[in-house]
Structure 1
Amino acid sequence: MACSTSGQSGSELETLGDASLCSVCFEKFKSPRTLPCRHSFCHACLSSAIESSCKEKETPAGFRCPLCREFTPGVGEQKKWVNRFPINDALVNILEISNSKLCGACKTEDEETPGVNYCFECKEALCDACTKYHRKIAPSRSHSVCPLNKAMDAEYLQPIMYKTCQEHTDRPVELVCNDHEQLCCTLCVGTNHRKCKSVDTLDVAAGKIKDSGMIQSLEENMKEYEQKLLRAKHSMEENMDKLDDAASILTKEMEKMEEDLIAHVRKAKSEALEKLGEATKTSKEKMNISTENIDDQIQCIKKCQQMLTDINTTSDMVKQVAEFFRTKQINQKLQSSRLNKILIMSKVKKGSDVCKIRKQLLFPTLELSEYTHDIYGKVDIRKATLKADVSFSVEDKQIYFGTFLIDGSILLPQYLSPPQAQCLLFNRNGKEIKRISTNHKPLSVCVCGNEIYISCGTGKVIIVLSSETFAVLRSMSTEKPCYGLDIKYDQLYVACMDSIDLMDKNGEMIRSYDVEESVECVIVNNQKMIYSNYAEHIVSAMSTSSQIMWTYESPNLRFPFGIEHDSRDNVYITGKDSNNIHMLSSEGVLLRVFDNIKQPWFIAIPPDDDSTCCICSNRGDMTIYRIG
């Protein structure tokens, strides 16, 4: 229904015909269920609304109220969501009472006393006298009583959620089963929860939740997941924008192709008509000349025939003999002359087959590939495989490190001396987007918010760029050559061959951790510094108190160099000389090995997508893989 949040006056209670109707089916309420937004609907109507709202969603998290559109989270199985909302029997009861407005207690004594108040527990109207005694008697002293003309107000009408047991609706909630995380009554504890190990009273359970920091922990967990969702949403919105851009570009190409095709057809038609006109004109001219010659001879014969007629009628014998011989000579000359009859035969030479042209794929198409990955990060990595998606090569190579930016692009420092020193930016399709020149040889890279940190190896410099404009924000000098680096909690961890130096974001030294030689890569994962020693073929994890937490080595791991971690704190190690990538848990336990990867120098994983990685082979051959 539409139980509005505004109250009803006494006069309005007399005309509550519409209020007794469900706003979905417009019929009298049948088992009305009330949502947290205080709107009520028939049980069946609400169930249908939930089903309709969720049918197109893969994993629905809730639904919107059919009336006010406020979002309501769903808990448990979707088909059972409707049962979790309380039945609002009071709604129908009040509407029935509003017709007579008689005190229910007095009616039992056959008295007709106007009711002025309403008791939600007793579900009946009360007169002034009964209300007074109702509030004095111990069993009904705690009942919710309000003026009858305000009983339709949402603050009164809203069912009391959670205070009664879901299994035994006539019993109050008094206990909490921690095993099932469920509120229950004393009867439930003796039946459904008799085998449960942890059952507390309400005050003890509430105290534990409040004092143990569980609320804060849950809030932090939800914020972390919210950030994953926001990043996923942002990524998909960007993807939609890119699809629109690609479709727009393709549309323009099609329109240009259409214009070119029309122009080409028109030009070809014009040229063909011009050739046709010229050929026809030339042929007709030849035939006209030939026709004129024949016509001359026809006229000549006719003239000679006239001369013969004149001979027969003349009496002049001299003229008769002379004209005869002359006509005879003309006839002999005509018949001895060479006269050709010209006939020009026409034959249509067939051009392009229009039917075949129509069947040909004239216009370019947009090829779409759909990839799905679990935002929750629940890929079974032990069974996962690497599937090559995109491959591309970097000219002049010299790529030892790389990282994904928040927009999904890949930043690759190219370890070349100035003026060739630069960082290359590629999109996920392997297309170069930008070249960023640097004054030092860029080696390793990591990202923190809107800043990009680039170490410069033996140059003893760390450059900080803007992740938006790629302009240099500042440069920081280091005491030692700086190689691989990572950033955590606004602190830089820099691999310096024989130490890992901890600095603030401005390059001020905080602490230096001594390590064995040949350490050029370091990451911070789960409050541990994890670094590789390519000379000894060992990977180690050190706490911030310099304690070695674990080490990993294997005959199948040679020249461990690049290190990366995913959102689940799994650690990826590139074995350059063993041509593989080892994957460890955060505790250093081997989970699996990805083999047949030629000379991998580094692996990079996007911050919002554990199902994608970029691997660099041979210091310049890049491959983007799908993990799944």
Structure 2
Amino acid sequence: MAESKQEDLPRTDDKFRCPICLEEVRNPKYLPCYHTFCKSCIQTYISSTVACRGDNSPDTIQCPVCRKSIQAPSDDASSEEWACSLPEDKLILSMSIDSDQSENQYCMFCQRNNKTVQAKHWCKTCTAIICDDCKFVHSYVPILESHRIVSLSDVEDLKTNIEIDEPCLVHMGKYVEVFCQDHDQLCCTICFATKHRTCKTVESIDGVSLEKDESSNKVTPKCLKDFLKKLDALQEEYKDMLANLNTKKQEIFTHTETKVEEIKSLLDRVNNQWMKQFEQKHSDAVGHIEITSDGVKRLATTIQGANTLLQRVLENGTTRQVFITRHKIRHQILDHVNCLCDLNWDVVHNYNQPDTDFLRQILEDQNFQNVEVLEKSDTTFDTLKEFASKLNSNDILRKREIMAQKDWMSVRFEKLSESNLTTHVYYGLFIDDTKVLLSIKNPPSLQIYDITDSIARCVFTYPCSTTPFGLCYSGESMNKVFVSFVTHVDHYQIEISDSVMLKKMETFQLKRSMKAISRGSTLIFSRSDSERMICTPDFSVKHTSNCSRAGNEPFISSSFHSNHHAIIKDKEVVVVDQYNENVYKKALPTGLPRGLAFDLQDNILISMMGDKLRQIRRGGGESRDIDLPGITQSYNVVLHPTGEKVVVLDFSNKFCIYKVL
């Protein structure tokens, strides 16, 4: 089983090393961020934190690798007590046992009774080497009978079928037993009972780890190794930047000093002042690069440790342990990346001194002209976001592939949540599995609703200077969206953790009015009150057609698989390709068609201003109606990118979320 999980990658380091002492880890203890250290090293680190702060005992420390804040186990815990309270990394301990090094070691249990008895066995459950007598004790003590014991001389048996009960980091003495897919979280029985009882998809870890297909995993040694190469390349870029900045600085100093000598008597005071200012600029620039370089170096430490652990677990761990380890590694990396994203990634890459006429400057301004600092946006931020998006987006594509296997002409909708609104809302978009973004007309704003409970609630409001209209994703990830304001389109990044934050990244000025927008595989499609447009990704218009709206606002929808898009025109649904050619039309003899959406098989769902959705089979074939519990006047429909959920906006100032069955 272990051989089937190995991936074709060279092994870089077969030892688990402590990030502090860089030696093979001894008595491994790990923090809540899953970084593992020698017990003595982390205790020394805690003590040094105390010394630096001048406190008797610290309330928190920062992880030496990822800088995540770690809370003390109690208000008055000493560094030794804190280090002892950290959970032991039994997985690393189990995979680090070496039969050759264990030949002259003594039974751990007997040593506690001040006896020195030669150890001959390894208890995988106790993670301890034991003697023959202690092995015999295991055979007749009921609580120990199920422990798996192997001989230290049996190297093959010693290294395989590693199975460790993972302790819950929240509840002492409890172990993770179930996995909540709704929150992507490992849970013990107490976690499940207190926080996840109402979740829709909670399964045993044994069950879900067997169901997960190897190809669906986002954390692989190859993925981590490729990212490590990128991080190495980035650090080389930083070295080159520093070398270039130092060289350029020296060139400017030399040239400036030559000019200063000509008018030394007048320029001494000004020259000294100018040099101090430029030195400070240079110091700030170098210091900022060193900070960002250090951030990349610490992330590389996380990736290297994760890669070593994953390779060993793939070689020696059970299917269950492989699943748990991949989950932990993915969240460890995403947490570290999120911490780094808060840094300022605009770095100084060069200097420029456009004017060296110092005599004129001193006569006119009594000062030298400052050296220009040339900044550029560092590629590190994009690299980090691309990697984080890769870890997240694969899950969307995997779920979409599963949902696409359904017969969508026979699916049903089960209502999950609803919410009443204070005004008509025509456009909405899922931004993750539990959040929906809505365009609010009065007052002009973007609102985010949490749809976890049966009654959805607004958790964030972003005021807008003008009315927002259409919404669509700007790429494969759900946290970057385009918002149309008729005369321009704003590009936002949405961060959701303990709180919600919208960050406007750029604005596209439009040459033609656009309200409804939708993104196909490579193109953007839009509508105004009188036109339909096909655009490039920067909203430059390639094709236009006259197309009057039906109802209060225009709607348009694009396929998940192609650049086909659909509109309602004169009580017909019309599907058009990327060259502005009609693919097919389908008459709608009854109802008042408004908003529409493609499903995962390119059938079309249409809001008919009633309590049902009309579904048209791909190509304009058969049609049917889908019941909408809780809706009286359906006005627009939006499908989750995975196809698992649907939001329907009601003209009666409300919306409902449905699960696709």
TM more than 0.5? no
Structure number with bigger Rg: 1
TM-score for both structures, normalised by structure 2:
0.39
TM-score for both structures, normalised by structure 1:
0.41
Larger relative contact order, structure 1 or 2 (CA cutoff 8 Å, min sep 6): 2
